[in-house]
Amino acid sequence: MSSETFGYRIASTMSADVIVCGGGVAGAMAAVAAARAGASVVLVERYGFLGGNATAGAVAQFNSWQTANGRRVVAGLADEVVMRLGRYGGAGEHASFVMSTGHKMDRVEYAPEVLKLVLDDMVHEAGVRPLLHASVLDVGVSDRGIDGVHVLTKSGVVALRAQVLIDASGDMDALQRAGATFLELDEGEALQPATMMFRFGPIDFARFDALPKAEVAALARRGYDEGRLARAALHSSRDPFSNDGWFNISRLGIDATDAMALGAAEIEGRRQAWSAAQYLRQCVPGCETGQLRAFGTQVGVRETRRIVGDHILTSEELLRPEQFPDAIAAGAYPIDIHPAAGGELRYEGLGDDHAYQIPYRSLIPVGFDNALVVGRGVSATHSAHAAIRVMTISMAVGQAAGTAAAMAAQSNQQGKVRAVPMPALRERLLRDGAKLA
């Protein structure tokens, strides 16, 4: 790529074996895994900190590490994140809880601000070069390869060169600019809505947690019917450092790749959060002295672009569950579809010992030989995506993609990412503590 091609001056150039675009938990794990596997890595992130929905979105809980009966299906680098959070005092223990739908799962509640420190530590110790306050501007393509990426920074436009690109941007911004093909929604489907998380407290959790589920459901329904809650739920997680909770009870039906719609959603999300906080204070036992403490830095986005990959993962495959010879991660989160409008959600639970697999081929975008996808852009149908989008699974997929990218970058074979030997990749992942089934 040249400055004449795009009409702007290049301020500097950086080279690496692997470029990771997007520093959410999936991208951060991909970058760390690639670096630990011997690759040089540049990690591009638009904010001044890492974590994506886990920090900027303030989701504040990592859900579904195991099947309902307790068989562990996510570990590896994701486990290390929780262990490091614990060292800072920024996470609770793995604990079981029952969703409003009746599904039993486990979760780890954590402090989003502390997670920023943990991810800083991990990328620094691995030797990753983080390029923060940087947004993807253009991507150069020739034949079936990504030639390089131009990113806009405070220093001007930086040109990045690498053997392998991992798009972890959530909205697949890098591959969109490269001309990749994305899946369309089927008739009757809509993108899952975004959520504005908010922190509220103090809460008397002894009273709040003791509320019967029927009473919680009635309070949520009342708030929704009165127009004070955008979602008929009182779903929250506890902040490890205080008696505050992070609440996930707003609903914003938008296409977050539309800049104007995204901005409007941020404004509406804050309005919904304020209204919900007043309802909590006035109507919910245990919340009488609480007040709104903070908003998420951004709305938490569940779904935008999903790549067309070498394999499109389906909900039928998750529910069987299909056993894939190229499985690189596993999960047990249910199919959980938040409709764009209305107070409820569509939910399809799993059996007590049910887990499913994510195949490596779903990480490979068709038409490219040196690119991989992690996070919510993985090649999956709308309903399959509703299960595998959660952050625990995204961390596991990120670890696998980073390991594969390092192996591909160190190989001289044609087809790069498709030439990665599955037995060697799977063996390395298992050796590094990952779960594949």
In this prediction, residues 70-93 reach a mean pLDDT of: 96
Q: Are residues 137 and 28 part of one domain?
A: yes
Please give the mean pLDDT across all residues of the chain: 94
Please write the tens of the pLDDT for every residue from 131-160: 999 999 999 999 899 999 999 999 999 999
CA-based diameter of the chain, in Å?
A: 66
Written as six digits, the tokens of 280 are 């909590």
- Give the pLDDT score at 6: 54
If you search the block for the tokens 């959530």, which residue do you land on? 170
Paired sense of beta strands 245-247 and 95-98, if any: unpaired
Q: How far is CA 29 from the centre of its chain?
A: 11
Residue 437 inside a domain? The answer is no
d(CA 222, CA 149): 50
**Polymer length of the chain:** 437
Is pLDDT above 60 for 334?
yes
pTM for the full predicted model: 0.95
Whether residue 192 is contained in a domain is answered as no
CA separation for the pair 380, 247 (Å, rounded): 28
Quick check: is 436 in a domain? Answer: no
Per residue in 347-397, pLDDT (tens digit) is: 777 889 999 999 999 999 999 999 999 999 999 999 999 999 999 999 999
What pLDDT does 346 receive? 74
Please write the tens of the pLDDT for every residue from 284-331: 999 999 999 999 999 999 999 999 999 999 999 999 999 999 999 999
Give the end of a domain, one of 258, 273, 295. 295
The tokens describing 340, both together, are 């764009």
Helix (H) or strand (E) run with residue 180 in it: none
Q: Which residues contact 95 (CB under 8 A, 6 or more apart)?
A: 106, 107, 108, 109
The Cα 387–Cα 380 span in angstroms is 10
Q: 10-43 pLDDT, tens per residue?
A: 989 999 999 999 999 999 999 999 999 999 999 9
Query: What single-letter amino acid sits at 234?
Result: L
**What Rg value do the Cα atoms of the chain yield, rounded?**
21
At 5 the pLDDT is 54
Are the beta carbons of 159 and 150 closer than 8 angstroms? Answer: yes
Q: Which domain holds residue 268?
A: 198-295
Mean pLDDT of the region 175-198: 94
Instruction: Tell me: do 283 and 318 sit in the same domain.
Output: no
Q: Note whether 395 and 365 are same-domain residues.
A: yes
311 & 287 share domain: no
CATH of the domain at 132: 3.50.50.60
